[in-house]
């Protein structure tokens, strides 16, 4: 079974998990956040600026997804595949990504608490 996630919904889920009470600055924890556009490569990912410390960040800043060239939807697919026991080779084939990327994703996910939380939200009990 292949899951197909829409990027927009993935970003929304990430926001809900990271910031259940609304977006906060990852640096100073201030909740006065201004939206300042989006990430060039992924228009669904918003950029923010903290009105207190002026730190600018995005939906994926300070997460394992930060700086990835893969869309969140692929990461989420990989999380599901990994949870169902797929090998890095299986993830590579299924998502048509490089073996290196698949291997990296599989290993990053194992210890990342955010990835664990996403997995719990995505998988039916």
Q: Footprint of Zn ion on this chain (CB under 5 A)?
A: 25, 27-28, 30, 50, 52-53, 55
What's the closest the beta carbon of residue 77 comes to Zn ion, in angstroms?
32
Kind and range of the H or E run holding 120 = helix 113-122
Q: Which is nearer to Zn ion, 23 or 80 (CB)?
A: 23
What's the closest the beta carbon of residue 13 comes to Zn ion, in angstroms?
24
3-state SS assignment for residue 40: coil
What's the closest the beta carbon of residue 27 comes to Zn ion, in angstroms?
5
Is the CB of residue 78 less than 8 Å from the CB of residue 92? no
d(CA 68, CA 93): 19
Q: Which is nearer to Zn ion, 36 or 53 (CB)?
A: 53
Could you tell me which of 64, 44, 67, 48 has the C-alpha nearest to residue 56? 48
Q: Which is nearer to Zn ion, 28 or 34 (CB)?
A: 28
What's the closest the beta carbon of residue 86 comes to Zn ion, in angstroms?
39
The two tokens of residue 40 are 């060039």
Q: Which is nearer to Zn ion, 6 or 29 (CB)?
A: 29
């Amino acid at each position: 079974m292949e899951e197909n996630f829409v990027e927009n919904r993935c970003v929304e889920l990430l926001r809900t998990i990271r910031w259940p009470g609304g977006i906060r600055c990852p640096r100073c924890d201030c909740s006065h956040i201004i939206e300042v556009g989006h990430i060039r490569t992924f228009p669904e990912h918003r950029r923010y600026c903290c009105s207190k410390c002026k730190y600018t960040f995005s939906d994926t800043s300070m997460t394992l997804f930060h700086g990835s060239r893969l869309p969140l939807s692929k990461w989420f697919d990989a999380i599901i595949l990994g949870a169902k026991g797929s090998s890095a080779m299986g993830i590579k084939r299924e998502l048509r990504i490089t073996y290196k990327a698949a291997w990296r994703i599989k290993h990053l996910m194992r210890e990342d608490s955010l990835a664990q939380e996403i997995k719990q939200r995505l998988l039916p009990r």
